[in-house]
Chains A and B, each alone.
Chain A
Protein backbone atom coordinates (compact mmCIF):
# COMPACT_ATOMS: atom_id res chain seq x y z
CA UNK A 1 0.00 0.00 0.00
CA UNK A 2 1.19 3.49 -0.79
CA UNK A 3 2.11 5.57 2.22
CA UNK A 4 -0.33 8.48 2.82
CA UNK A 5 1.40 11.84 2.35
CA UNK A 6 1.83 13.98 5.52
CA UNK A 7 -0.98 16.46 6.23
CA UNK A 8 1.23 19.45 5.53
CA UNK A 9 1.84 18.37 2.00
CA UNK A 10 -1.84 17.43 1.59
CA UNK A 11 -3.01 20.96 2.52
CA UNK A 12 -0.66 22.47 -0.02
CA UNK A 13 -2.19 20.29 -2.68
CA UNK A 14 -5.82 21.21 -1.99
CA UNK A 15 -7.36 22.75 -5.09
CA UNK A 16 -10.35 24.97 -5.55
CA UNK A 17 -12.10 22.01 -7.14
CA UNK A 18 -11.54 20.02 -3.92
CA UNK A 19 -12.97 22.87 -1.88
CA UNK A 20 -15.95 23.34 -4.17
CA UNK A 21 -16.65 19.61 -4.06
CA UNK A 22 -16.84 19.80 -0.25
CA UNK A 23 -18.91 23.00 -0.12
CA UNK A 24 -21.38 21.84 -2.77
CA UNK A 25 -21.71 18.48 -1.01
CA UNK A 26 -22.33 20.25 2.30
CA UNK A 27 -24.97 22.50 0.68
CA UNK A 28 -26.78 19.45 -0.71
CA UNK A 29 -26.76 17.71 2.69
CA UNK A 30 -28.13 20.79 4.44
CA UNK A 31 -30.81 21.43 1.81
CA UNK A 32 -31.84 17.77 2.17
CA UNK A 33 -31.87 18.04 5.99
CA UNK A 34 -29.37 15.15 6.20
CA UNK A 35 -28.00 16.68 9.37
CA UNK A 36 -26.24 13.60 10.77
CA UNK A 37 -24.35 13.19 7.50
CA UNK A 38 -23.50 16.89 7.69
CA UNK A 39 -22.01 16.38 11.18
CA UNK A 40 -19.70 13.86 9.53
CA UNK A 41 -18.10 16.68 7.54
CA UNK A 42 -17.02 18.50 10.69
CA UNK A 43 -13.85 18.13 12.75
CA UNK A 44 -14.20 17.16 16.43
CA UNK A 45 -13.47 20.78 17.43
CA UNK A 46 -15.61 22.46 14.79
CA UNK A 47 -17.33 25.81 15.24
CA UNK A 48 -20.35 27.29 13.49
CA UNK A 49 -20.92 31.03 13.74
CA UNK A 50 -23.27 33.71 12.44
CA UNK A 51 -22.06 37.17 13.57
CA UNK A 52 -24.55 39.90 14.46
CA UNK A 53 -25.31 41.95 11.36
CA UNK A 54 -23.81 45.12 12.83
CA UNK A 55 -20.52 43.45 13.86
CA UNK A 56 -19.63 41.12 10.96
CA UNK A 57 -15.92 40.91 11.80
CA UNK A 58 -16.08 40.55 15.56
CA UNK A 59 -15.05 37.85 18.03
CA UNK A 60 -17.84 35.88 19.80
CA UNK A 61 -15.84 35.97 23.05
CA UNK A 62 -16.51 39.70 23.39
CA UNK A 63 -19.40 40.35 21.00
CA UNK A 64 -22.98 39.15 20.88
CA UNK A 65 -23.45 36.91 17.83
CA UNK A 66 -26.60 35.42 16.37
CA UNK A 67 -25.01 31.98 16.54
CA UNK A 68 -21.69 30.95 18.07
CA UNK A 69 -21.67 27.17 18.49
CA UNK A 70 -18.84 24.94 19.56
CA UNK A 71 -19.08 21.30 18.51
CA UNK A 72 -21.20 20.39 21.55
CA UNK A 73 -23.81 22.99 20.73
CA UNK A 74 -23.66 22.13 17.02
CA UNK A 75 -24.59 18.57 18.01
CA UNK A 76 -27.24 19.88 20.40
CA UNK A 77 -28.62 22.06 17.62
CA UNK A 78 -28.84 19.08 15.27
CA UNK A 79 -30.54 16.95 17.94
CA UNK A 80 -33.05 19.76 18.42
CA UNK A 81 -33.66 20.26 14.70
CA UNK A 82 -34.38 16.56 14.24
CA UNK A 83 -37.07 16.76 16.93
CA UNK A 84 -40.58 17.66 15.75
CA UNK A 85 -40.76 19.92 18.80
CA UNK A 86 -38.24 22.29 17.24
CA UNK A 87 -41.32 24.31 16.38
CA UNK A 88 -39.56 27.03 14.40
CA UNK A 89 -38.53 24.33 11.92
CA UNK A 90 -41.61 22.16 12.02
CA UNK A 91 -42.76 21.71 9.39
CA UNK A 92 -39.25 22.17 8.08
CA UNK A 93 -38.28 25.04 5.84
CA UNK A 94 -37.24 24.18 2.34
CA UNK A 95 -33.94 25.80 1.54
CA UNK A 96 -31.90 26.13 -1.64
CA UNK A 97 -28.32 27.27 -1.44
CA UNK A 98 -26.32 28.87 -4.24
CA UNK A 99 -22.62 28.99 -3.53
CA UNK A 100 -20.15 30.82 -5.74
CA UNK A 101 -17.00 32.91 -5.97
CA UNK A 102 -15.16 30.20 -4.08
CA UNK A 103 -11.58 31.27 -3.32
CA UNK A 104 -8.75 29.78 -1.31
CA UNK A 105 -7.65 32.70 0.86
CA UNK A 106 -4.75 31.09 2.68
CA UNK A 107 -2.95 27.91 3.69
CA UNK A 108 -1.29 27.10 6.95
CA UNK A 109 0.14 23.64 7.67
CA UNK A 110 -2.83 21.30 7.41
CA UNK A 111 -5.42 24.07 7.16
CA UNK A 112 -6.93 25.96 4.26
CA UNK A 113 -8.98 29.11 4.69
CA UNK A 114 -11.70 29.64 2.15
CA UNK A 115 -14.14 32.39 1.26
CA UNK A 116 -17.29 31.97 -0.77
CA UNK A 117 -20.49 33.89 -1.48
CA UNK A 118 -23.90 32.47 -0.78
CA UNK A 119 -27.57 33.04 -1.44
CA UNK A 120 -29.89 30.85 0.57
CA UNK A 121 -33.56 30.90 -0.33
CA UNK A 122 -35.86 29.77 2.44
CA UNK A 123 -39.47 28.74 1.90
CA UNK A 124 -41.86 28.05 4.70
CA UNK A 125 -45.55 27.27 4.66
CA UNK A 126 -47.37 29.78 2.46
CA UNK A 127 -44.94 32.61 3.11
CA UNK A 128 -43.09 34.39 0.38
CA UNK A 129 -39.43 33.51 0.02
CA UNK A 130 -36.87 34.80 2.51
CA UNK A 131 -33.43 35.44 1.06
CA UNK A 132 -30.24 35.16 3.09
CA UNK A 133 -27.33 36.73 1.22
CA UNK A 134 -23.74 36.86 2.41
CA UNK A 135 -20.37 35.19 2.45
CA UNK A 136 -18.93 32.14 4.08
CA UNK A 137 -15.59 32.05 5.82
CA UNK A 138 -14.37 28.48 6.17
CA UNK A 139 -11.43 26.96 7.88
CA UNK A 140 -10.88 23.53 6.36
CA UNK A 141 -8.46 20.95 7.70
CA UNK A 142 -6.98 17.89 6.06
CA UNK A 143 -7.51 15.00 8.46
CA UNK A 144 -6.30 11.54 7.46
CA UNK A 145 -6.40 12.54 3.82
CA UNK A 146 -9.91 14.00 4.03
CA UNK A 147 -10.84 17.64 3.84
CA UNK A 148 -13.04 18.54 6.83
CA UNK A 149 -14.72 21.66 8.18
CA UNK A 150 -13.05 23.10 11.29
CA UNK A 151 -14.94 26.37 11.25
CA UNK A 152 -17.74 27.80 9.18
CA UNK A 153 -18.88 31.35 9.58
CA UNK A 154 -21.89 32.66 7.68
CA UNK A 155 -21.69 36.45 7.46
CA UNK A 156 -24.92 38.10 6.33
CA UNK A 157 -24.74 41.25 4.19
CA UNK A 158 -27.99 42.83 5.40
CA UNK A 159 -27.59 45.68 7.92
CA UNK A 160 -30.15 43.96 10.13
CA UNK A 161 -31.69 40.52 10.22
CA UNK A 162 -35.00 42.36 9.72
CA UNK A 163 -37.47 40.51 7.56
CA UNK A 164 -35.29 37.38 7.45
CA UNK A 165 -36.55 36.99 11.02
CA UNK A 166 -34.84 33.89 12.30
CA UNK A 167 -31.77 31.79 11.63
CA UNK A 168 -33.54 28.67 12.88
CA UNK A 169 -32.09 26.34 10.22
CA UNK A 170 -28.38 25.72 9.59
CA UNK A 171 -27.29 28.69 7.45
Chain B
Protein backbone atom coordinates (compact mmCIF):
# COMPACT_ATOMS: atom_id res chain seq x y z
CA UNK B 1 0.00 0.00 0.00
CA UNK B 2 2.80 2.44 0.88
CA UNK B 3 4.63 1.80 -2.37
CA UNK B 4 1.98 3.22 -4.68
CA UNK B 5 1.32 6.94 -5.02
CA UNK B 6 -2.16 7.94 -3.88
CA UNK B 7 -2.06 11.64 -4.67
CA UNK B 8 0.18 12.96 -7.44
CA UNK B 9 0.86 16.66 -7.06
CA UNK B 10 2.96 17.84 -9.98
CA UNK B 11 3.70 21.25 -11.43
CA UNK B 12 0.59 21.49 -13.55
CA UNK B 13 -1.21 18.24 -12.87
CA UNK B 14 -2.98 16.99 -9.77
CA UNK B 15 -4.28 13.45 -9.75
CA UNK B 16 -5.92 11.21 -7.18
CA UNK B 17 -5.57 7.46 -7.29
CA UNK B 18 -9.05 5.95 -7.49
CA UNK B 19 -7.94 3.12 -5.19
CA UNK B 20 -8.33 5.67 -2.38
CA UNK B 21 -12.08 5.50 -2.98
CA UNK B 22 -12.37 1.74 -3.27
CA UNK B 23 -9.73 -0.10 -1.22
CA UNK B 24 -10.76 -1.48 2.22
CA UNK B 25 -7.14 -1.19 3.40
CA UNK B 26 -7.28 2.54 2.78
CA UNK B 27 -10.44 2.77 4.86
CA UNK B 28 -8.70 0.97 7.75
CA UNK B 29 -5.84 3.45 7.51
CA UNK B 30 -8.24 6.37 7.37
CA UNK B 31 -9.93 5.29 10.58
CA UNK B 32 -6.61 5.26 12.41
CA UNK B 33 -4.65 8.02 10.72
CA UNK B 34 -7.37 10.51 9.81
CA UNK B 35 -10.51 10.12 11.89
CA UNK B 36 -8.80 9.06 15.12
CA UNK B 37 -6.38 11.99 15.18
CA UNK B 38 -8.60 14.81 13.87
CA UNK B 39 -11.30 16.84 15.60
CA UNK B 40 -14.60 15.24 14.66
CA UNK B 41 -17.95 17.00 14.94
CA UNK B 42 -20.28 15.58 17.59
CA UNK B 43 -23.17 18.02 17.74
CA UNK B 44 -24.27 21.51 18.65
CA UNK B 45 -24.72 22.80 22.18
CA UNK B 46 -28.23 24.00 21.34
CA UNK B 47 -29.37 20.40 20.89
CA UNK B 48 -29.12 20.00 24.66
CA UNK B 49 -30.98 22.53 26.81
CA UNK B 50 -30.87 21.45 30.45
CA UNK B 51 -29.03 19.12 32.83
CA UNK B 52 -29.79 15.51 31.93
CA UNK B 53 -30.72 16.22 28.30
CA UNK B 54 -29.14 13.63 26.05
CA UNK B 55 -28.91 12.49 22.45
CA UNK B 56 -27.34 9.24 21.36
CA UNK B 57 -25.52 9.15 18.06
CA UNK B 58 -22.65 7.50 16.28
CA UNK B 59 -19.59 9.73 16.04
CA UNK B 60 -16.35 8.64 14.45
CA UNK B 61 -17.84 5.16 14.29
CA UNK B 62 -18.46 4.99 18.07
CA UNK B 63 -21.83 5.00 19.80
CA UNK B 64 -21.85 8.04 22.13
CA UNK B 65 -24.15 9.77 24.57
CA UNK B 66 -24.02 13.51 23.87
CA UNK B 67 -25.46 15.14 26.98
CA UNK B 68 -25.48 17.81 29.65
CA UNK B 69 -24.24 16.82 33.08
CA UNK B 70 -25.53 17.87 36.50
CA UNK B 71 -23.65 21.17 36.21
CA UNK B 72 -25.12 21.77 32.71
CA UNK B 73 -21.76 21.19 31.02
CA UNK B 74 -21.79 19.43 27.66
CA UNK B 75 -20.29 15.94 27.92
CA UNK B 76 -19.68 13.02 25.57
CA UNK B 77 -19.69 9.46 26.93
CA UNK B 78 -18.92 6.27 25.07
CA UNK B 79 -22.21 4.41 25.11
CA UNK B 80 -20.93 1.07 26.40
CA UNK B 81 -21.40 -0.38 29.87
CA UNK B 82 -18.22 -0.82 31.88
CA UNK B 83 -19.52 -4.21 33.06
CA UNK B 84 -19.97 -6.27 29.88
CA UNK B 85 -20.24 -3.65 27.21
CA UNK B 86 -23.91 -3.35 26.29
CA UNK B 87 -25.09 0.00 24.99
CA UNK B 88 -26.35 1.70 28.12
CA UNK B 89 -28.68 4.27 26.59
CA UNK B 90 -30.98 2.93 23.89
CA UNK B 91 -33.16 5.96 23.25
CA UNK B 92 -32.44 8.51 20.54
CA UNK B 93 -32.99 11.49 22.81
CA UNK B 94 -34.53 12.54 26.09
CA UNK B 95 -33.77 13.68 29.61
CA UNK B 96 -32.57 11.29 32.28
CA UNK B 97 -31.40 11.41 35.88
CA UNK B 98 -29.56 8.13 35.38
CA UNK B 99 -28.65 5.86 32.51
CA UNK B 100 -29.22 2.25 33.45
CA UNK B 101 -27.90 -0.70 31.51
CA UNK B 102 -30.85 -3.08 31.41
CA UNK B 103 -28.70 -6.20 31.12
CA UNK B 104 -27.49 -6.49 34.75
CA UNK B 105 -28.73 -3.17 36.02
CA UNK B 106 -25.57 -1.09 36.38
CA UNK B 107 -26.61 2.55 36.44
CA UNK B 108 -24.71 5.76 35.80
CA UNK B 109 -25.55 9.29 36.89
CA UNK B 110 -25.62 12.40 34.68
CA UNK B 111 -21.91 12.90 35.25
CA UNK B 112 -21.13 9.39 34.02
CA UNK B 113 -20.32 8.05 37.49
CA UNK B 114 -21.31 4.46 38.23
CA UNK B 115 -23.80 4.82 41.09
CA UNK B 116 -25.75 1.59 41.14
CA UNK B 117 -24.52 -2.01 41.02
CA UNK B 118 -27.06 -4.68 41.96
CA UNK B 119 -25.54 -7.12 44.47
CA UNK B 120 -22.50 -4.91 44.91
CA UNK B 121 -21.26 -6.70 48.08
CA UNK B 122 -20.64 -9.91 46.13
CA UNK B 123 -17.75 -8.25 44.32
CA UNK B 124 -14.28 -8.55 45.92
CA UNK B 125 -13.27 -5.76 48.30
CA UNK B 126 -10.95 -4.26 45.69
CA UNK B 127 -13.94 -3.42 43.46
CA UNK B 128 -14.57 0.30 43.47
CA UNK B 129 -17.46 1.92 41.62
CA UNK B 130 -15.34 5.02 41.10
CA UNK B 131 -13.15 2.98 38.73
CA UNK B 132 -16.06 2.18 36.45
CA UNK B 133 -17.60 5.41 35.27
CA UNK B 134 -18.66 5.76 31.63
CA UNK B 135 -15.59 6.41 29.51
CA UNK B 136 -15.13 9.64 27.60
CA UNK B 137 -13.15 10.35 24.43
CA UNK B 138 -9.72 11.74 25.38
CA UNK B 139 -10.63 15.25 24.19
CA UNK B 140 -13.90 17.15 23.84
CA UNK B 141 -13.84 20.85 22.95
CA UNK B 142 -16.20 23.32 21.36
CA UNK B 143 -15.98 26.40 19.20
CA UNK B 144 -18.93 28.82 19.25
CA UNK B 145 -21.43 26.07 20.03
CA UNK B 146 -20.01 23.39 17.73
CA UNK B 147 -18.81 20.43 19.82
CA UNK B 148 -16.01 18.18 18.59
CA UNK B 149 -14.20 15.17 20.00
CA UNK B 150 -10.71 13.86 19.39
CA UNK B 151 -9.46 10.34 20.09
CA UNK B 152 -5.86 11.57 20.07
CA UNK B 153 -4.91 12.79 23.58
CA UNK B 154 -1.94 14.67 22.09
CA UNK B 155 -3.93 16.60 19.50
CA UNK B 156 -3.56 20.38 19.24
CA UNK B 157 -6.45 22.38 20.67
CA UNK B 158 -9.64 22.65 18.62
CA UNK B 159 -9.13 26.40 18.20
CA UNK B 160 -5.65 25.87 16.79
CA UNK B 161 -6.83 22.98 14.62
CA UNK B 162 -9.66 25.04 13.06
CA UNK B 163 -7.12 27.62 11.83
CA UNK B 164 -8.64 29.76 9.05
CA UNK B 165 -11.97 27.93 9.27
CA UNK B 166 -12.84 30.00 12.36
CA UNK B 167 -13.35 33.14 10.29
CA UNK B 168 -15.94 31.29 8.20
CA UNK B 169 -17.70 29.80 11.21
CA UNK B 170 -17.88 33.33 12.64
CA UNK B 171 -19.60 34.54 9.46
CA UNK B 172 -22.35 31.98 10.08
CA UNK B 173 -22.68 32.95 13.76
CA UNK B 174 -22.92 36.66 12.90
CA UNK B 175 -26.40 36.02 11.51
CA UNK B 176 -27.65 35.86 15.08
CA UNK B 177 -28.10 39.15 17.02
CA UNK B 178 -26.87 37.43 20.20
CA UNK B 179 -24.23 35.31 18.47
CA UNK B 180 -26.22 32.17 19.17
CA UNK B 181 -27.27 29.84 16.41
CA UNK B 182 -29.42 26.81 17.15
CA UNK B 183 -30.05 23.48 15.50
CA UNK B 184 -33.66 23.25 14.38
CA UNK B 185 -35.48 20.01 15.14
CA UNK B 186 -35.82 17.45 12.34
CA UNK B 187 -32.82 15.37 11.24
CA UNK B 188 -31.96 14.08 7.80
CA UNK B 189 -30.12 10.76 8.19
CA UNK B 190 -29.47 8.87 4.98
CA UNK B 191 -26.97 6.61 3.26
CA UNK B 192 -25.04 7.32 0.10
CA UNK B 193 -23.54 4.38 -1.76
CA UNK B 194 -20.24 6.09 -2.35
CA UNK B 195 -16.92 6.76 -0.67
CA UNK B 196 -17.12 9.55 1.93
CA UNK B 197 -14.40 11.64 0.28
CA UNK B 198 -16.57 12.04 -2.80
CA UNK B 199 -19.04 13.94 -0.63
CA UNK B 200 -16.24 16.17 0.65
CA UNK B 201 -15.39 17.08 -2.94
CA UNK B 202 -19.00 17.46 -4.00
CA UNK B 203 -19.91 19.64 -1.02
CA UNK B 204 -17.87 22.55 -2.33
CA UNK B 205 -17.20 21.64 -5.95
CA UNK B 206 -18.88 24.45 -7.90
CA UNK B 207 -17.69 23.14 -11.27
CA UNK B 208 -20.68 20.75 -11.29
CA UNK B 209 -23.42 23.30 -10.63
CA UNK B 210 -24.46 24.02 -14.21
CA UNK B 211 -24.60 20.43 -15.35
CA UNK B 212 -25.66 18.47 -12.28
CA UNK B 213 -28.15 21.07 -11.07
CA UNK B 214 -29.65 22.43 -14.29
CA UNK B 215 -33.17 21.53 -13.15
CA UNK B 216 -32.67 23.41 -9.88
CA UNK B 217 -31.39 26.44 -11.78
CA UNK B 218 -34.43 26.20 -14.06
CA UNK B 219 -36.67 26.08 -10.98
CA UNK B 220 -35.10 29.31 -9.70
CA UNK B 221 -35.33 30.99 -13.12
CA UNK B 222 -38.95 29.92 -13.56
CA UNK B 223 -39.72 31.46 -10.18
CA UNK B 224 -38.24 34.77 -11.37
CA UNK B 225 -34.78 34.66 -9.80
CA UNK B 226 -32.42 36.88 -11.80
CA UNK B 227 -28.94 35.61 -12.44
CA UNK B 228 -26.14 38.03 -13.21
CA UNK B 229 -23.83 37.35 -16.08
CA UNK B 230 -20.72 35.64 -14.73
CA UNK B 231 -17.41 37.51 -14.64
CA UNK B 232 -14.66 36.43 -17.01
CA UNK B 233 -13.85 32.70 -16.68
CA UNK B 234 -16.57 32.22 -14.08
CA UNK B 235 -19.28 29.60 -14.54
CA UNK B 236 -21.66 30.42 -11.69
CA UNK B 237 -22.34 32.65 -9.82
CA UNK B 238 -21.16 36.01 -11.17
CA UNK B 239 -18.12 35.86 -8.89
CA UNK B 240 -16.75 33.27 -6.49
CA UNK B 241 -13.46 31.96 -5.19
CA UNK B 242 -12.06 28.82 -3.59
CA UNK B 243 -9.74 29.10 -0.61
CA UNK B 244 -7.58 26.80 1.49
CA UNK B 245 -7.81 27.63 5.19
CA UNK B 246 -5.06 25.46 6.68
CA UNK B 247 -5.02 21.91 8.09
CA UNK B 248 -7.08 20.67 5.14
CA UNK B 249 -10.02 22.98 5.79
CA UNK B 250 -11.24 24.87 2.73
CA UNK B 251 -14.18 26.87 1.48
CA UNK B 252 -15.90 28.49 -1.41
CA UNK B 253 -16.74 32.16 -1.05
CA UNK B 254 -19.32 33.29 -3.59
CA UNK B 255 -21.46 36.28 -4.45
CA UNK B 256 -25.02 35.31 -3.55
CA UNK B 257 -27.62 34.74 -6.25
CA UNK B 258 -29.75 32.03 -4.69
CA UNK B 259 -31.33 34.04 -1.89
CA UNK B 260 -30.50 34.00 1.81
CA UNK B 261 -32.81 33.87 4.82
CA UNK B 262 -30.28 36.33 6.38
CA UNK B 263 -30.90 38.40 4.46
CA UNK B 264 -31.50 38.51 0.72
CA UNK B 265 -35.00 38.07 -0.65
CA UNK B 266 -35.63 36.16 -3.89
CA UNK B 267 -38.99 35.63 -5.60
CA UNK B 268 -39.04 31.96 -4.52
CA UNK B 269 -39.78 33.19 -0.96
CA UNK B 270 -42.98 34.92 -2.12
CA UNK B 271 -43.97 38.60 -1.81
CA UNK B 272 -45.32 38.05 1.70
CA UNK B 273 -41.82 37.20 2.95
CA UNK B 274 -40.26 40.46 1.75
CA UNK B 275 -40.89 42.63 4.84
CA UNK B 276 -39.51 39.94 7.16
CA UNK B 277 -36.29 39.63 5.15
CA UNK B 278 -35.98 43.44 5.04
CA UNK B 279 -36.37 43.65 8.83
CA UNK B 280 -33.65 41.01 9.26
CA UNK B 281 -31.40 42.95 6.90
CA UNK B 282 -31.96 46.20 8.80
CA UNK B 283 -31.05 44.52 12.11
CA UNK B 284 -27.90 43.14 10.54
CA UNK B 285 -26.80 46.55 9.21
CA UNK B 286 -27.57 48.28 12.51
CA UNK B 287 -25.55 45.70 14.45
CA UNK B 288 -22.62 45.04 12.12
CA UNK B 289 -22.43 48.07 9.82
CA UNK B 290 -22.98 48.05 6.06
CA UNK B 291 -19.75 46.30 5.10
CA UNK B 292 -19.89 43.39 7.53
CA UNK B 293 -23.66 43.02 6.98
CA UNK B 294 -23.03 42.66 3.25
CA UNK B 295 -20.26 40.16 3.95
CA UNK B 296 -22.67 38.05 6.03
CA UNK B 297 -25.78 38.49 3.89
CA UNK B 298 -24.53 38.70 0.31
CA UNK B 299 -22.04 35.83 0.15
CA UNK B 300 -22.56 32.08 0.17
CA UNK B 301 -19.88 29.88 1.68
CA UNK B 302 -19.55 26.12 1.70
CA UNK B 303 -16.96 25.33 4.34
CA UNK B 304 -15.38 21.91 4.84
CA UNK B 305 -13.89 21.42 8.27
CA UNK B 306 -11.43 18.60 7.70
CA UNK B 307 -12.21 15.77 7.44
CA UNK B 308 -15.99 15.27 7.48
CA UNK B 309 -17.98 18.36 8.45
CA UNK B 310 -19.70 20.66 5.99
CA UNK B 311 -21.15 23.99 7.01
CA UNK B 312 -23.05 25.10 3.94
CA UNK B 313 -24.20 28.69 4.28
CA UNK B 314 -26.10 28.93 1.01
CA UNK B 315 -29.83 28.66 0.31
CA UNK B 316 -30.10 28.17 4.09
CA UNK B 317 -27.57 26.99 6.66
CA UNK B 318 -26.98 23.27 6.92
CA UNK B 319 -24.65 21.25 9.11
CA UNK B 320 -23.76 18.01 7.40
CA UNK B 321 -21.44 15.34 8.72
CA UNK B 322 -20.73 11.91 7.30
CA UNK B 323 -18.75 8.82 8.11
CA UNK B 324 -17.80 5.75 6.08
CA UNK B 325 -19.57 2.50 6.91
CA UNK B 326 -17.69 0.76 4.05
CA UNK B 327 -15.32 1.93 1.31
CA UNK B 328 -18.30 2.44 -0.97
CA UNK B 329 -20.86 3.61 1.56
CA UNK B 330 -21.40 6.43 4.04
CA UNK B 331 -24.03 7.56 6.51
CA UNK B 332 -24.94 11.24 6.30
CA UNK B 333 -26.47 13.28 9.15
CA UNK B 334 -27.76 16.74 8.31
CA UNK B 335 -29.47 19.50 10.27
CA UNK B 336 -30.71 23.03 9.68
CA UNK B 337 -29.18 25.84 11.71
CA UNK B 338 -30.79 29.22 12.41
CA UNK B 339 -30.45 32.27 14.68
CA UNK B 340 -31.87 31.55 18.12
CA UNK B 341 -33.97 34.73 18.21
CA UNK B 342 -35.42 34.28 14.71
CA UNK B 343 -39.16 35.06 14.48
CA UNK B 344 -41.48 32.20 13.60
CA UNK B 345 -42.08 33.83 10.20
CA UNK B 346 -38.34 34.06 9.50
CA UNK B 347 -37.86 30.48 10.71
CA UNK B 348 -40.51 29.26 8.29
CA UNK B 349 -38.79 31.08 5.39
CA UNK B 350 -35.44 29.55 6.40
CA UNK B 351 -36.83 26.01 6.46
CA UNK B 352 -38.66 26.47 3.18
CA UNK B 353 -35.52 27.86 1.52
CA UNK B 354 -33.55 24.88 2.87
CA UNK B 355 -35.79 22.43 1.03
CA UNK B 356 -35.48 24.17 -2.34
CA UNK B 357 -31.99 22.72 -2.57
CA UNK B 358 -30.84 20.56 0.31
CA UNK B 359 -31.58 17.10 1.57
CA UNK B 360 -32.81 13.73 0.32
CA UNK B 361 -36.06 15.27 -0.94
CA UNK B 362 -34.64 18.62 -2.07
CA UNK B 363 -34.50 19.77 -5.68
CA UNK B 364 -30.71 19.48 -5.89
CA UNK B 365 -29.10 17.18 -3.30
CA UNK B 366 -30.60 14.02 -4.87
CA UNK B 367 -28.72 14.78 -8.09
CA UNK B 368 -25.49 15.15 -6.10
CA UNK B 369 -26.12 11.76 -4.53
CA UNK B 370 -26.72 10.28 -7.98
CA UNK B 371 -23.44 11.80 -9.20
CA UNK B 372 -21.50 10.32 -6.28
CA UNK B 373 -23.10 6.91 -6.69
CA UNK B 374 -22.33 6.98 -10.42
CA UNK B 375 -18.68 7.79 -9.68
CA UNK B 376 -18.52 4.88 -7.27
CA UNK B 377 -20.22 2.56 -9.75
CA UNK B 378 -17.83 3.75 -12.44
CA UNK B 379 -14.58 3.28 -10.52
CA UNK B 380 -15.14 0.27 -8.26
CA UNK B 381 -14.37 -2.35 -10.88
CA UNK B 382 -12.18 -0.24 -13.18
CA UNK B 383 -9.76 1.54 -10.89
CA UNK B 384 -6.87 -0.71 -11.82
CA UNK B 385 -7.33 -0.09 -15.55
CA UNK B 386 -8.24 3.58 -15.11
CA UNK B 387 -6.35 4.56 -11.97
CA UNK B 388 -6.36 8.36 -11.94
CA UNK B 389 -8.93 11.07 -11.35
CA UNK B 390 -7.98 14.57 -12.50
CA UNK B 391 -8.17 17.58 -10.19
CA UNK B 392 -6.03 20.23 -11.88
CA UNK B 393 -8.49 23.07 -12.49
CA UNK B 394 -6.90 26.43 -11.82
CA UNK B 395 -3.40 25.06 -11.26
CA UNK B 396 -1.70 27.14 -13.93
CA UNK B 397 -3.33 30.37 -12.75
CA UNK B 398 -1.71 32.98 -10.62
CA UNK B 399 -3.77 34.91 -8.12
CA UNK B 400 -7.39 34.22 -7.35
CA UNK B 401 -8.63 30.64 -7.57
CA UNK B 402 -12.25 30.43 -8.65
CA UNK B 403 -15.02 28.53 -6.89
CA UNK B 404 -15.16 26.36 -10.03
CA UNK B 405 -11.43 25.71 -9.82
CA UNK B 406 -10.17 22.92 -7.60
CA UNK B 407 -7.67 24.50 -5.22
CA UNK B 408 -9.99 23.88 -2.28
CA UNK B 409 -10.48 20.24 -3.27
CA UNK B 410 -6.74 19.82 -3.58
CA UNK B 411 -6.25 21.34 -0.12
CA UNK B 412 -8.41 18.57 1.33
CA UNK B 413 -6.59 15.83 -0.56
CA UNK B 414 -3.12 17.12 0.32
CA UNK B 415 -3.93 17.04 4.03
CA UNK B 416 -5.53 13.62 3.65
CA UNK B 417 -2.42 12.32 1.87
CA UNK B 418 -0.15 13.77 4.54
CA UNK B 419 -2.05 12.02 7.32
CA UNK B 420 -2.41 8.72 5.48
CA UNK B 421 1.32 8.65 4.83
CA UNK B 422 1.74 8.90 8.58
CA UNK B 423 3.94 11.98 8.74
CA UNK B 424 5.19 12.76 12.22
CA UNK B 425 2.88 14.53 14.63
CA UNK B 426 4.66 17.88 14.36
CA UNK B 427 3.64 18.11 10.73
CA UNK B 428 -0.03 17.77 11.36
Contact = CB atoms under 8 A, between A and B. Distances in A.
Interface of A: 50-55, 58, 60-69, 72-73, 76-77, 79-80, 83, 85-89, 159-168
A85 B214 contact: yes
A77 B363 CA distance: 7
Contact of B92 (A54, A62, A162, A168): A54
* Size bracket, chain B contacts: 35 or more
B193 A65 contact: no
B377 to A, nearest CB: 8
Contact of A86 (B186, B335, B359, B367): B367
Interface string B197-228: 00000000000000010111011001100000
Interface string B347-362: 1100110111001110
Interface string B78-97: 00000000000000100000
B369 A65 contact: no
B188 A72 contact: no
A88 B351 contact: no
B348 to A, nearest CB: 4
B189 A160 contact: yes
Contacts of B190: 160-162, 164-166
Given A54-B92, A85-B215, A88-B369, A63 B185 contact: yes
Interface in B321-363: 331, 335-336, 344, 347-348, 351-352, 354-356, 359-361, 363
B219 A76 contact: yes
A151 to B, nearest CB: 16
A68 B215 contact: no
Given A64-B351, A161-B190, A83 B185 contact: no
Contacts of A163: 191
A87 B188 contact: no
- Judged by DSSP, the binding face of A is loop
Contacts of B354: 64
B188, B223, B347 interface centre (most CB from chain A within 10 Å): B188
Contacts of B216: 80
Contacts of A72: 223
B351 A166 contact: no
B359 A66 contact: yes
B190 to A, nearest CB: 4
B361 A58 contact: no
Nearest to A75: B222
Given A161-B360, A165-B192, A87 B185 contact: no
Interface string B113-138: 00000000000000000000000000
A96 B348 CA distance: 33
A67 B365 CA distance: 12
Given A55-B185, A62-B347, 14 more contacts: A52-B188, A58-B186, A64-B188, A68-B355, A73-B355, A73-B356, A73-B363, A88-B369, A159-B92, A160-B189, A161-B190, A162-B331, A164-B190, A165-B369
A88 B370 contact: yes
B363 A80 contact: yes
B355 A65 contact: yes
B183 to A, nearest CB: 9
B361 A168 contact: yes
B360 A165 contact: yes
Contacts of B352: 60, 68
B348 A79 contact: no
A76 B351 CA distance: 17
B157 interface: no
B186 A162 contact: no
A65 B187 CA distance: 8
Contacts of A67: 355, 361
A159 B191 CA distance: 13
Contacts of B188: 52, 64, 66, 161
Contacts of A66: 188, 359-361
A66 B186 CA distance: 9
Nearest to A77: B363
Nearest to A50: B361
B219 A64 contact: no
B186 A54 contact: yes
A89 to B, nearest CB: 8
B361 A80 contact: no
B363 A63 contact: no
B105 interface: no
